[in-house]
Structure 1
Amino acid sequence: MQWRARRRRVSARLGEKETPVQSEGATHILVVDDDLEIRKLLGRYLAAQGFRVTTAGDGREMEEKLATQRIDFVVLDLMLPDASGLDLCRALRNRSKIPVILLTALKEDVDRIIGLEIGADDYLGKPFNPRELVARIRAVLRRTGAAEPEPVAATAFRFARFRAEPELRRVTDAEGVEVALTGAEFDLLMAFLERPGRILSREQLLDITRGREAGPFDRSVDVLVSRLRRKLGDQGAFQILKTLRNGGYQLAVRVDREDAS
């Protein structure tokens, strides 16, 4: 879905106060754009992808958020009412290595080239597909080594009536009978167990389990989820793995960790 079509369906009120979207323990992204609707839409979308999001409407607010919060990533519009995005990017790069993606509606290549030369990690022209922005953010995080820290390793996870052992790559039911999972199915299950309660999109799941981004017609994750549901006896009920429309999938049961300590 293209940015303009998606944006037209946003019913933001221009006088409405924004509230930062929080997802504790995730990469903290600061979105800087003078368009309230874009900030709110990106805030919701990035939060649904598992990021923690704070927004700013101009350069002054951006500097205030950077000074008072720990920011891991900046998505910065070039055209702001009180400052140039290029100047803000240059100033940020002079004092920090925080990754930056520039958003620009300008067609001139020179502005994009200057942005990269002064230290931006990537740029994206408006209008854009939010999925492409997420893909570029993840690519920059991998490239810069600033990706989200892996969760502390657990010796086992208990969920529903099952027990999963990561090191043995084994899942057993309440009677101790092993559930036969393929390697891909087990990796998918671990993606959910290590992120209980989080909504995970197809793109996230493919990136976590395969280390690559999903193509527009890639439905391999859907096939794996269907197979995993069947083997966990969840077919038709979806009490363990829930499907969220336009959101992805969510592990909907309690997860208890058994840590080495």
Structure 2
Amino acid sequence: MQTVWKPFFSYNLWALFEPAIGQEQRHCPMKRGFLKARAKELEVAPLIQQETVYQEIGLLAQQGIYEFHQDVHCLIGDHGVNRVSAVLGLENRSQEVRNRVTQVLANYQVTPILLGKNILKLSRGDEGFPEPILLRSGNQECNLFAAIDCIFVEPDGTLHILDFKTGKSDFDRRQAYVYLLAAKYLYPNQEAIASFYNLESQTWSDPICASSVQLQVLEMDLFRFAQQHQNDLQRYRRKLASFEEIFPPHPGYQCQTCQFQSVCQFTI
């Protein structure tokens, strides 16, 4: 049976559409064009496949937490950090990656925030795309993708969605709202909250919740973004020369770390 294609949405797509508060100057709409419209081009595809140092650290840190909880003895043993480091193959990574991820593991062994929690789901981070959640609004349908790091159950039965962070980036509440919308469909009739935890700075965000009205408004916005994104892709395919019109550049400081600087004529 042939699968019917549907518009899709995710927090990552939302972030490509609109910057987080305070990040307006660092936001470039053309990045969405490279990632979503030109991803299969010979010059662009290899750049997307390359993992940045920040992505590498974030993924390895999450994998480390997962490995700790696969063998709880690593959390309480004297050589737990070394054992998990070996599983992650940190000896084959750059000095910066090795040092920062090792520090994450050492910090977590001292303060294992999930130890003793009723963990419902704990992702390793490299499972690939999650199963889509089908959303319906009238005669519209949309696939929502939400790659949730961890869900545990609070003593009062509330679902707690936890997202791991590394680096110095601020927490973006929009990501929490997308996860809460996903939880509404995955775990109907259960209360849910969301929070972020930075594995390097060992800081929690405040717990984030959303009312049914807020989630309903979010869902409406989600359909609008998903449809606009598909319209942009179709416009580009009809007229390839309109790339910079549909996905306008915003050159600036962010060009220094942009993965597409080698193929972008607007890089400064």
Higher helix share: 2
**TM-score bucket (shorter structure):** under 0.3
Normalising by structure 1, report the TM-score. Answer: 0.27
Higher strand share: 1
Normalising by structure 2, report the TM-score. Answer: 0.26
